A and B are shown apart, each in its own frame.
Chain A
Amino acid sequence: MSTQNAPGAPSMRTPLGRVRNLGASHSGTTDFWRQRLTAVAMTLLIVPVLVVVLMLLGRNQAGAAQILGSLPIAVILLLFIIASTWHMKIGMQVVIEDYVHNEKLKLAAVMANNFFSFAVAIASIYAILKLSSGV
């Protein structure tokens, strides 16, 4: 964060330097980039993920656990979970920032969004790691 110069006072800062990181999100284009990064990741992963889901249909828990515990499938699902929870966290934050104008309510909503997204991510990741370790 920069200190504000008095109006009319000379500044050595470039125009870009003055506005950098000061967009609506206060974090520049980081979220914009990550949203696209995770979107492309999921586009690449969607076919393998669907194949895994179709493989599991009609199987009981023992059969499902065996498939989910295999290394390539666990890795595919872990990548998809990380990409999707990150993507949905950013997406929900954009919606909150667009529609919630009360500053305190917005902070609370953004916090709740972070908690929810992280909880879903950690719970899913823990489940897959548990299945992989065969405990």
Chain B
Amino acid sequence: MLLSIVHRATGMALYFGTLLLAWWLIAAASGPGAYANVQAFTGSFIGRLIVFGYTWALMHHLLSGIRHFVWDLGYGFKANEREALTWGALLGGISLTVLVWIAAYALGGGR
């Protein structure tokens, strides 16, 4: 029940978060100055917080979406199965977010 709203909320966050993705691609296509601006923003504390939040919203929405897909296919409606899917999406989303950021810091030197 609660997670259904979180699915929507993360969807809404990702909706506006695509602006960041579009800005980044446009900057890369525009030139070094524009790209440096994006990097200055994503490198700042607020920028990192937003990108971290975006990563979590994406990972959670992905897993929560798979959960809905399982239900669309007609599986996972028993009480214990619903619990497992819900907790799987919640904990899986957090775990994947941390994993992606560990990979990001390991590969990108924290930039």
Contacts and interface: CB of A to CB of B under 8 A. Distances in A.
A and B are interacting partners: yes
Interface stretch (A1-9, A10-18, A53-61, A102-110): A53-61
Nearest to B7: A91
A1 B31 CA distance: 51
Interface residues of B, number: 32
A111 interface: no
B22 A124 contact: yes
A120 B35 CA distance: 18
Size bracket of the A interface: 20 to 34
Q: Is the interface of B mostly helix, strand, loop or mixed?
A: helix
A58 B66 contact: no
Interface string B93-110: 000000010011001110
Interface of B: 8, 11-12, 14-15, 18-19, 21-22, 25-29, 31-32, 34-36, 58, 62, 65-66, 69, 72, 100, 103-104, 107-109, 111
23 contacts: A36-B69, A39-B65, A40-B69, A43-B66, A46-B58, A54-B107, A54-B108, A57-B107, A57-B108, A61-B32, A62-B32, A65-B29, A68-B29, A88-B11, A88-B14, A88-B15, A95-B11, A123-B22, A123-B26, A126-B29, A127-B26, A127-B29, A128-B29
